[in-house]
Each structure stands twice: as C-alpha cells, then as structure tokens.
C-alpha cells in the first residue's frame, strides 16, 4: 500500500465529469473536500480491507477495480460484488464495528479516504448528501442481490450471461468504454467462478459456449458484447436503467 501525495483536489476528481454521475453543489463539494483525509494506492492482488478488521476511514474507489468477498477457513471464497470507480469501500464497517467482508484490489487502484466520524455531521447538517450515502449503500446491496439471484436460481449459462451484461453496463457507466466498443475486463476465470459459484471447468465451458454463439468476445483483458439484447435474453436479466448516481 502507498499513500498518495499530494492528494487530488475534489474539484479535479475525474468521476465528476462522467455523464451518469450527479454533481455536487459548490457548498457540498467544499464540505466533502474538507472531509477527505488521504488518498491511497494498492497494487493488483493486495488486500485493501481484511475481513474482520477495523479502519478509521471509509473510501471511494477513484481509479481501478476491486471486489468484496467473504471466505471460509479452508480458503473457499465467495465474491459478493465487483467494485468500480465511484463505489464506496468499507462503509459496512462503520455500521458493524468490524468489516464483515474483505476487499481486494483486482487491478492497481486509488482510493479517497474520508474520516468515519463525518457520518454524524453528514446526517445532522447535510440531509441531501446523507440521502445520497443511503442510496449508494442500497444500490450496492441491490447489485449483490442480483448476484445472489443468479447463484440460487439461474443455470450456469444464464449466470455467466447475467454477469457479463452486468459488468459491461457498469463499466460503460464508469466511463471505461473504449473506442472499439469493448470495456476492460480484469477478472480471471477463477474470479468469475468465485462470483458465480461455478467450478473453474464449468466456467471455462460456459464462456466457450457464449464465444461460439458470437455473443461475446473476451480476450486480452477486454470484453465486447455483440448483441446486448440477445445476451440479456439468455440471462433473463432486464434490470431498469439506474438514475444518475451520486458519489462521495
């Protein structure tokens, strides 16, 4: 882990220019800027927040990809959610006392750290931003619900199609779509298996089916979807478009 210095001013945050991000008022932006305490960097594969740990801060993911997970004593792991720029990291530890899950960097990441005790002031003096924080937390839980629905009820092919649509859509919303229409896809097949509750062999087999059907191209760390509607039909995944979302 490295601590970034100097910190990027909130006024220059690259997330604020994304079309799906709702901007602050000048007063809100000034208040958020005063709460920022640090900017951290982690390399791919590093643990950002260990399971069961306590941290005096929570974070906004500024750059890169990460994932939230829970594990069993024998090392088996369930990835609960993929985290992209703009997502909150470590909020649950504020409510639970210790983090009920771990956070690991999927790529090199940068995070903006905020003091935890700002929560009291936020809810007392800034109700609109407190509602934004509640929305972000609820949105994160909804994404986890989508994955749980897949693991519990969808077939392996449906699970894979749902996950690829889900990640593709979120990557586009985070401003990561390339000129050729593809988005970065840093997940390995083991990561995918840990999200979907499949074996590594089954994961590979299902990916090959989607490739042969011409629905996806997945190579060199990038994902392209030829026909998003067709892949949605495979997944039976027709989530409603999300409104412009806030960030902290």
CATH number at residue 178: 1.10.10.10
Distance CA 151, CA 194 (A): 10
Q: Are residues 24 and 70 in the same domain?
A: yes
Q: Is the dihedral of CA 3, 99, 55, 133 positive or negative?
A: positive
199-208 per-position pLDDT tens digit: 999 999 999 9
Q: Are residues 176 and 74 in the same domain?
A: no
Q: Are residues 62 and 173 in the same domain?
A: no
Query: Is position 247 within any domain?
Result: no
Query: Is position 138 within any domain?
Result: no
Name 234's bridge partners. none
Query: Is position 152 within any domain?
Result: yes
pLDDT at 242 over 90: no
pLDDT at 248 over 90: no
Q: Are residues 196 and 88 in the same domain?
A: no
Distance CA 6, CA 124 (A): 30
pLDDT at 67 over 90: yes
Q: How many domains does the chain have?
A: 2
Name 67's bridge partners. 82, 104
Q: Are residues 7 and 123 in the same domain?
A: yes
Distance CA 42, CA 188 (A): 19
Q: What is the mean pLDDT of residues 92-104?
A: 70
pLDDT band at residue 43 under the 50/70/90 scheme: very high
Q: Is the dihedral of CA 113, 195, 98, 248 positive or negative?
A: positive
Q: What is the mean pLDDT of residues 210-235?
A: 90
- Which span out of 8-17, 28-37, 129-138, 187-196 was modeled with the highest average pLDDT? 187-196
Q: What is the mean pLDDT of residues 71-95?
A: 83
pLDDT at 2 over 70: no
- At residue 5, the pLDDT reads 52
Q: Which of 83, 82, 146 is nearest to 111 (CA)?
A: 83
Q: Are residues 77 and 156 in the same domain?
A: no
Q: What is the mean pLDDT of residues 46-54?
A: 84
Q: Are residues 30 and 96 in the same domain?
A: yes
CA atoms within 13 A on the CB side of 81: 20
Q: Are residues 121 and 6 in the same domain?
A: yes
- At residue 63, the pLDDT reads 92
Q: Is the peptide bond before 160 cis (omega within 30 degrees of 0)?
A: no
pLDDT at 126 over 80: yes
Q: What is the mean pLDDT of residues 183-196?
A: 94
Query: Is position 143 within any domain?
Result: no
Query: Is position 133 within any domain?
Result: no
Query: Is position 248 within any domain?
Result: no
Query: Domain holding 52: CATH number?
Result: 2.60.120.10
Query: Is position 241 within any domain?
Result: no
183 is in which domain, residue-wise?
Answer: 148-235
Query: Is position 111 within any domain?
Result: yes
Q: Are residues 169 and 60 in the same domain?
A: no
> Taking the mean position of all CA atoms in its chain, how far away is CA 198?
21
Helices (H) and strands (E) in the chain, counts: 8, 12
Distance CA 238, CA 173 (A): 16
Q: Are residues 119 and 152 in the same domain?
A: no
- At residue 203, the pLDDT reads 94
- At residue 238, the pLDDT reads 67
Average pLDDT value over all residues in the chain: 84
Q: What is the mean pLDDT of residues 74-102?
A: 79
pLDDT at 185 over 90: yes
CA atoms within 13 A on the CB side of 144: 16
Element (H, E) at 151: helix 127-153
Q: Are residues 28 and 88 in the same domain?
A: yes
């Amino acid at each position: 882990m490295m601590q970034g210095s100097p910190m990027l001013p909130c006024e220059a945050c690259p997330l604020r220019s994304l079309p799906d991000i709702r901007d602050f008022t000048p007063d809100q932006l000034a208040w958020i800027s005063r709460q920022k305490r640090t900017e951290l960097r982690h390399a791919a594969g590093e643990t950002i927040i260990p399971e069961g740990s306590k941290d005096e801060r929570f974070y906004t993911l500024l750059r890169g990809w990460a994932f939230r997970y829970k594990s069993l004593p024998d090392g088996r792991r369930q990835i609960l959610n993929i985290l992209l720029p703009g997502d909150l990291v470590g909020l649950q530890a504020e409510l639970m006392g210790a983090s009920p899950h771990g956070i690991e960097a999927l790529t090199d990441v940068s995070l903006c750290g905020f003091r935890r005790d700002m929560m009291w002031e936020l809810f007392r003096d800034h109700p609109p931003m407190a509602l934004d924080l509640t929305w972000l937390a609820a949105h994160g839980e909804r994404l986890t619900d989508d994955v749980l629905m897949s693991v519990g009820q969808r077939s392996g092919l449906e699970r894979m199609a749902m996950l690829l649509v889900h990640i593709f859509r979120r990557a586009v919303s985070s401003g990561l779509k390339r000129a050729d229409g593809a988005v970065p896809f840093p997940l390995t097949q083991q990561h995918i298996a840990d999200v979907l509750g499949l074996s590594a062999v089954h994961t590979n087999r299902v990916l090959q089916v989607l490739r042969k059907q011409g629905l996806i191209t997945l190579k060199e760390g990038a994902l392209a979807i030829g026909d998003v509607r067709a892949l949605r039909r495979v997944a039976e995944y027709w989530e409603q478009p999300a409104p412009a979302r806030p960030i902290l």
